[in-house]
A and B are shown apart, each in its own frame.
Chain A
Amino acid sequence: MEQPDSTTLDLLTRESPEAFEVIYDRYGRLAYTIAMRVLSDEAAAEDVVQESFIAIWRRFLTYRPERGSIRTWICSIVRNRAIDRLRGESGRLRYELALDESRGEPSLDDTWSQVVASLTRERVQQALRDLPVEQRQTVELAYWCGMSQSEISQTMRVPIGTVKGRIRLSLAKLRESLQGKEEEAWHRP
């Protein structure tokens, strides 16, 4: 998805409501979709998106472009708030990877930026469908339901070690699958 231009982001740091309108119009549907995916409740999802965008408006200065795109930042805020709402854990502290994108390995960056630029819904859906069922379910419980390792272990009735293994394998396969599709696209006549 296209990143808003730097002028919009600059205006948002200066509290321009017009810039906020541009951001909402670009990411509002995605935010609502994420909230609905987590909560399956229209009123609750609407509340979460409203709270999230007000937080984005008030705390835009905390956005750090070197740690990822604004789309990723907004998705993360909405998903975390939706999961907090689902689990009744407002203000819960969670560990998140927060890496400086500008410090990535150049060769990996080049490949992955091509992958990201060409990602489509069908391709990500297909990559998820290609996972074995138990791995896909583990990803869903972790990412969309916000379950801990032990909760996933209890829900799926498998040892925690198995949960960890499935998560590791699923992420590796997703990455491989998305990159592989990119290579196929390059070689397609």
Chain B
Amino acid sequence: MAPSMTCDAADELIALAALGVLDADDGAVLDRHIAVCARCRANALMAQRTAAALPESLDLLEAPAGLRRRLLTAVYSSAGPVQPRRRTLRDVWRGIPRSRVLTALAPLAIGAATVLGVWGLTRPVSAQVETFPVQASTSLPTARGVLTFYVTRSHSVLTVAGVPTPATGGQLPNVYEIWLIPSNGGPKPVAFLSPSPSGGDWTAVVSGDLRGYRTLAATIEPPGGEAKPTGPEIFSIPLS
């Protein structure tokens, strides 16, 4: 197929496309041209890369800490166990030992792997996951939920129901702040509860090892949270 436009005309469209100002009709014409013109394809690639360098010119700003907390809460609460990658025929082929020694050892290795695999599947889940129930306080007796501590991942997901939207503190709503209370020392602010996108539940992700803490607690705090608890406790979770 012959190129549907001249290379000179294509150069102009390539520059417009790289900066995102080419309309779809001209884009289709350009696509047809660069599919058959190596020179313009190379130019388009360079233009694409040049435009991709533009964000590098920005002086980086600090993203709000609450944004990270909300995102990780949403992601951790929506994630199931990590799916094993599906093995392809190529993976299987690559996995076959090429030398005779390795081939002779293969049945032994397979046997050992099977034993380990069965042990891994049948050993108690409680060795890796611990759960702690929410204990409602008198200030919010409807609160109920569970804290799931993923021991090997060193993070916990807190899911709570029966919690109303906090009252407004000025222009912004108050927040539910989560605290970890160590055996010795004061409460440490670790997360905020966020409403689940599907409604009903509130969730928070707490990073780090819970061992060494005696209690997790939640309080109502002004917008943005506080460094130390100032509001009423709405629930607590004994961790021992």
Contacts and interface: CB of A to CB of B under 8 A. Distances in A.
A30 B55 contact: yes
Nearest to A177: B50
A132 to B, nearest CB: 15
B37 interface: no
Contacts of B47: 97, 171, 175
B54 A143 contact: yes
Contact of B83 (A14, A83, A147, A168): A14
Contacts of B147: none
A42 B71 CA distance: 16
Interface in A89-105: 93-97, 99, 101, 103-105
Interface SS of chain A: helix
A68 B44 CA distance: 13
B81 to A, nearest CB: 9
Given A32-B63, A34-B58, A97-B47, A14 B53 contact: no
A49 B46 CA distance: 28
Contacts of A20: 72, 75
B198 to A, nearest CB: 13
Interface residues of A, number: 72
A143 B45 contact: no
B178 interface: no
A42 B64 contact: yes
Contact of A14 (B54, B66, B85): B85
29 contacts: A11-B82, A15-B80, A17-B76, A21-B72, A21-B75, A24-B68, A25-B68, A31-B63, A32-B62, A33-B61, A94-B24, A95-B28, A96-B17, A96-B27, A97-B47, A99-B44, A105-B38, A105-B42, A116-B49, A119-B56, A124-B54, A142-B21, A167-B15, A168-B11, A170-B15, A171-B15, A171-B50, A175-B46, A178-B53
Given A97-B44, A149-B16, A167-B21, 6 more contacts: A17-B76, A20-B75, A49-B63, A54-B74, A152-B21, A168-B11
Cβ-closest 4 pairs across A and B: A95-B27, A32-B63, A124-B57, A105-B42
